[in-house]
C-alpha cells in the first residue's frame, strides 16, 4: 500500500468516525424585565400541543427541564405527570422541538478543461515545393470555467421553551436554540440543543449567542 493511499484512508476514517464534528449554535433567550420569577412558585413543565411528533419528542426532555429549573433555585417544579392534584401551577413552561428540511441558495464553481497554451508542429510538405505545413493544437488543464447558482438542502433544528404566567396568561420568558446540520441524526442534534439551552437559562438578562462547539473525539452523530 502506498503512503498516499494510506494517508487518504486514515483521513477518511477520521471523518467517518466523527472526530471533527462541529455544531453551530444560535441561542436567543428573553425574560420579561418586569416579571418577578418567584422561586417558591409552583412550576409546571409540559410539551407543546398540536404537532404530535414535536410534542412526543419534547416529552423526552421534560425531566431535564425540571432539573435545570431546580438548579436555578425553583423548588416546586413538576411535569404534567408528577404534578400533585392539590397544586395549581403559577408558571407553565412549554417545550417544543422541531426538525425540518430547509433550502438555501449558493454559488458553485464549475470545472472543465481550460486552455493554457498552444503547441505547434511543422513538417515539410509531401509536394516538391519547400513549403512547410504547421498544425497548432491547444493545450488544456482541468480548472474552474465559471460558476452557477444552485439549491442546497439542510436540516433546521429548533428547541423552544416558553414560560407563561398563569394569572395573566402572558409569556414571561422565551428560550430558542437553533442549529443547521446536513449529516447528523435529528434526535442527536435535538438532544445537543436541549443541553445547550438548559446550560444557558437566565431569568434576569437577555442572552444572544452564536458559537461553534467542537464535539469530543469519537463522537458519532449518525
Domain extents in the chain: 21-101+154-214, 107-148
Q: Is the pLDDT of residue 190 over 90?
A: yes
The residue with cell 434526535 is: 187
Report the pLDDT averaged over residues 4-24. Answer: 48
Q: In what order do the strands lie in the sheet with 170-181?
A: 76-79, 42-47, 91-124, 132-165, 170-181, 22-31, 207-214
CA distances from 53 to 9, 80, 201 (A): 40, 18, 25
Q: What pLDDT, on the 0 to 100 scale, is given for residue 172? A: 97
- The pTM assigned to this predicted structure is 0.73
What is the third-level CATH fold of 21-101+154-214? Double Stranded RNA Binding Domain (3.30.160)
Q: What pLDDT, on the 0 to 100 scale, is given for residue 128? A: 63
**pLDDT of 132-161, one tens digit each?**
788 888 888 998 888 888 888 888 999 999
Amino acid at each position: 500500500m502506498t503512503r498516499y493511499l494510506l494517508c487518504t484512508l486514515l483521513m477518511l476514517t477520521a471523518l467517518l468516525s466523527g472526530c471533527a464534528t462541529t455544531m453551530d449554535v444560535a441561542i436567543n433567550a428573553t425574560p420579561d424585565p418586569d416579571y418577578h420569577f418567584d422561586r417558591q412558585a409552583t412550576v409546571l413543565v409540559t410539551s407543546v400541543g398540536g404537532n404530535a411528533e414535536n410534542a412526543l419528542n419534547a416529552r423526552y426532555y421534560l425531566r431535564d427541564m425540571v432539573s435545570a429549573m431546580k438548579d436555578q433555585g425553583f423548588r416546586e417544579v413538576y411535569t404534567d405527570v408528577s404534578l400533585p392534584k392539590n397544586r395549581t401551577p403559577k408558571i407553565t413552561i412549554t417545550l417544543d422541538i422541531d426538525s425540518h428540511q430547509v433550502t438555501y441558495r449558493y454559488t458553485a464553481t464549475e470545472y472543465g478543461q481550460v486552455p493554457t497554451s498552444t503547441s505547434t508542429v511543422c513538417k515539410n510538405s509531401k509536394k516538391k515545393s519547400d513549403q512547410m505545413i504547421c498544425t497548432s493544437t491547444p493545450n488544456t488543464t482541468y480548472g474552474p470555467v465559471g460558476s452557477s447558482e444552485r439549491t442546497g438542502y439542510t436540516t433546521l433544528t429548533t428547541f423552544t421553551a416558553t414560560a407563561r404566567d398563569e394569572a395573566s396568561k402572558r409569556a414571561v420568558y422565551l428560550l430558542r436554540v437553533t442549529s443547521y446540520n446536513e449529516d447528523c441524526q435529528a434526535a442527536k442534534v435535538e438532544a445537543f440543543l436541549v443541553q445547550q439551552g438548559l446550560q444557558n437559562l437566565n431569568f434576569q438578562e437577555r442572552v444572544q449567542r452564536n458559537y461553534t462547539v467542537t464535539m469530543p473525539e469519537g463522537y458519532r452523530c449518525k
